[in-house]
Structure 1
Amino acid sequence: MKVLVCDPISQTGIEHLQQQNGLETIVLDRCHSEEELLPIMKDVSAMAVRSETKVTKTILEAAPEMRIVGRAGVGVDNIDIEAATQNGVIVMNTPGGNTTATCELTFSMMMALARNIPQAHGSMVAGEWNRKAFKGVELYGKTLGVLGMGRIGGEVARRAVAFGMRVMAYDPYITPSRAKALQVELASLEDIYAAADFITVHMPMTDETRGMLNKDTFATMKPSVRLLNCARGGIINEADLCEALKDGKIAGAALDVYESEPLAKDSPLRDCPNLILTPHLGASTVEAQDNVGLEVAQGISDYLLHGSLMNSINMPSLDAQTSAKVQPYLRLGEKMGVLLAKLGQVGTERLAITYGGLATELPGDPIARSIIKGFLGAAEGE
């Protein structure tokens, strides 16, 4: 079975694939366009990609042997999930590999904001010595609002507690027992906006979260608040953020992700005061790159050679005939999951799924996954 490594992944991951009996690993020397990939897709069983290669419907349909697409990283915007599902192709990612890296970048940003480190550095490079201009604040005793308590949000909270911060958290899916273990206070968005000295975003981009931090929410915050987003671009309205920074309605902000990437050279963000910008460095550490490269390689080999699957974000592989029968149930299941999440209580720990009628004649696992996917959709992605 052929595995096509389309984007650069760690040598550790490549070596893992090359060592597996039964797999032929082909490593492309650069990112290929759709037109360049089409002629070589006929007998490919798996693809390993990062964010550069676009896995389109056309590519998937040109690969009748394709069984799995592995994303070395978290975001899968470059993969046509619907087309993959329709063709019985698994899409998996590596959500745990960059947790520490993104968490540490978030905390680095917080400390840089608190102590005006970028501004002080720029002043020194310019030949100045101006200690009074860069008086900062301490993290100790301050209140941190964490929006989203998944893997990364939870790790940020742990570190904040170690620094002596009070941590308030918003996440409709976190259980009280997990909140207690992390030593955080569960709170509403409104309460966090009113009380927090720092607010950090660790939520997925959805219709509900797009632009959720904007001029209206800024107006409810302290003028001394500092905002951070190392999660998904667009959750903070960039135009409103620039205006709030220029008007002094918030004290500072740090962004690693943007509404559109790469950030345009003439973006107003580049001229905003008290704003730290980095070019999406969340997973850019030696360790994180090794982790996600090895994880995606292991995920692909485990599935192709042993049938075991971790971190699938759509469904198990199905033959074409079964896939056609189960598709309506997958769509219905996801909608039912979304509805259940909106009607259910905060802190749900268990879902019970009962099958009846014709559904009992179909594989239950993909239907269950669709229900769970819909239910957790607003909370997953970190």
Structure 2
Amino acid sequence: MTRLRRGEQRWNVALKVVRVGRPITEEQAKPERAKLASVGAELVLHPYQGEADLIAAVADADAVINAGGRFPATVINAMTRCRVLVQGSVGYDAIDVEAATARKLPVANLFDYCIEEVAEHALTLSLACARRLTFMQDAVRSGLWRRDWAAMRERIGLVERLSTQTLGIVGFGNIGKLVARKGGGMGWRILAADPFVDPAIGPQHGVEVVPLERLLAESDIVTLHVFLNQQTRQMMGAPQFALMKPTAYLINTCRGPIVNEAALIDALRRGQIAGAGLDVFEFEPIEDNNPLLGMENVILTPHTAVYSRLALELNRMQPFDEVVRVLSGRYPRGLVNRALRGQLPLADG
């Protein structure tokens, strides 16, 4: 491809779109290539191999899709031709959005591609914890049910009716609202905590919006649905676990570093909370020696809350839809740095 200096126009030269991160095959890339061809763009597949290699790969890109790399300010400042940077997930903590905004580079995320799946996974973990499902399954598999019914009941412990319990939703954005809607039929009383949400909207969603401290103190299930940023990193630590009931469970399907994992392990060991349902971890994949693996009151899934056939298909195609929108002169649907709206030669709609 012909290389052009910044400011030069490209005549009869295809626009360059770089997809960074998890590999896909050429066969899998065919629909994406066809979509980009409609706006005169070509696709370059590039594995993430560190910052220096990434800078070389994206320096002359007209658009970039991030499917597993990291984009600090040093990389963003090198992207002198880029017209949009699309994060191939809901969370965009891998991108320095502040640096992108300073360069007037729009950042987009896939804000709604998997919200149904994540909400359902959070509720699945919540129900499994509340019903002590793993203890019940173990009673069958181990033969305890057959050998000693009284011992089985003691091991399972008491299970509370959901209509007597409180579900606390931390973060009341798209996913948090879906958790409330889908979980409302279970009979829970539902609390929500979000500093950016007007408490007056609570009743229309079937929730009461309260301060985080009250939510932690009153909830039997605490489920996390916040973006990872400097304000939310390790927002759940020892002081927060100390506020929770000893019978309460923590559910995390958003980002691992939201939780101080060492403090969580300590709270579980000391019986400060009853258990947890975790799809995400501070360090992934989880190490073989992580104490969480040996805790029978913890349900673990491998960062798969997003999984469904439809969500995976949307995850593959939506980033290219966003690129096509911008290269066609429109703002992306999932514009993250909204301060740029109206500042760029792009149209709404």
- TM superposition score category, shorter chain reference: 0.7 to 0.9
CA drift at 1:184 = 0.8
1:228-265: per-residue Cα shift (whole Å, max 9, x none)? 11122233332222222222222111122222333232
Query: CA 1:155–1:45 in 2, change beyond 3 Å: closer, same or farther?
Result: same
1: distance between equivalents of 2:100 and 2:333?
Answer: 17
Q: Tell me, yes or no, if the aligned pair for 1:146 and 1:202 is still in contact at 8 Å.
A: yes
Q: Tell me, yes or no, if the aligned pair for 2:117 and 2:305 is still in contact at 8 Å.
A: yes
2: distance between equivalents of 1:148 and 1:54?
Answer: 25
Give the counterpart letter for 2:174 in structure 1: R
For the pair 1:282 / 2:305, whether they are aligned, the reply is yes
2: distance between equivalents of 1:222 and 1:187?
Answer: 17
Partner of 1:144, secondary structure, is strand
For the pair 1:104 / 2:104, whether they are aligned, the reply is no
Aligned residue in 1 for 2:17: 3
For the pair 1:219 / 2:248, whether they are aligned, the reply is no
Aligned residue in 2 for 1:169: 192
1: distance between equivalents of 2:18 and 2:260?
Answer: 38
Query: CA 1:266–1:4 in 2, change beyond 3 Å: closer, same or farther?
Result: same
Structure 2 counterpart of 1:231, from 251, 254, 259: 254
Partner of 2:63, secondary structure, is strand
Aligned residue in 2 for 1:272: 295
For the pair 1:134 / 2:156, whether they are aligned, the reply is yes
Q: Tell me, yes or no, if the aligned pair for 1:17 and 1:301 is still in contact at 8 Å.
A: no
Aligned residue in 2 for 1:79: 95
1: distance between equivalents of 2:72 and 2:201?
Answer: 39
1:273-314: per-residue Cα shift (whole Å, max 9, x none)? 411122222222222222233322111100011333322223
Mapping for residues 61-210 of structure 1, pairs under 5 Å:
62-122=78-138, 124-126=140-142, 128-129=144-145, 131-132=152-153, 133-135=155-157, 136-210=159-233
Give the counterpart letter for 1:286 in structure 2: R
Q: Tell me, yes or no, if the aligned pair for 1:9 and 1:289 is still in contact at 8 Å.
A: no
CA drift at 1:43 = 4.0
Partner of 1:245, secondary structure, is helix
2: distance between equivalents of 1:118 and 1:308?
Answer: 47
Q: Tell me, yes or no, if the aligned pair for 2:132 and 2:156 is still in contact at 8 Å.
A: yes
Query: CA 1:173–1:86 in 2, change beyond 3 Å: closer, same or farther?
Result: closer
2: distance between equivalents of 1:149 and 1:61?
Answer: 33
Give the counterpart letter for 2:292 in structure 1: L
CA drift at 1:110 = 0.5
Q: TM-score, normalised by structure 2?
A: 0.79
Partner of 2:62, secondary structure, is strand
2: distance between equivalents of 1:89 and 1:288?
Answer: 27
Aligned residue in 2 for 1:45: 62
Aligned residue in 2 for 1:379: none
Q: Tell me, yes or no, if the aligned pair for 1:205 and 1:234 is still in contact at 8 Å.
A: yes
Query: CA 1:183–1:41 in 2, change beyond 3 Å: closer, same or farther?
Result: closer
1:61-109: per-residue Cα shift (whole Å, max 9, x none)? 5543221111110222333434434444322111111111110110010
2: distance between equivalents of 1:60 and 1:171?
Answer: 30
Give the counterpart letter for 2:198 in structure 1: T
Query: CA 1:82–1:195 in 2, change beyond 3 Å: closer, same or farther?
Result: closer
What is the alpha-carbon root mean square deviation over aligned residues?
Answer: 3.0
Higher relative contact order (CA 8 A, sep 6+): 1
Give the counterpart letter for 1:21 in structure 2: S
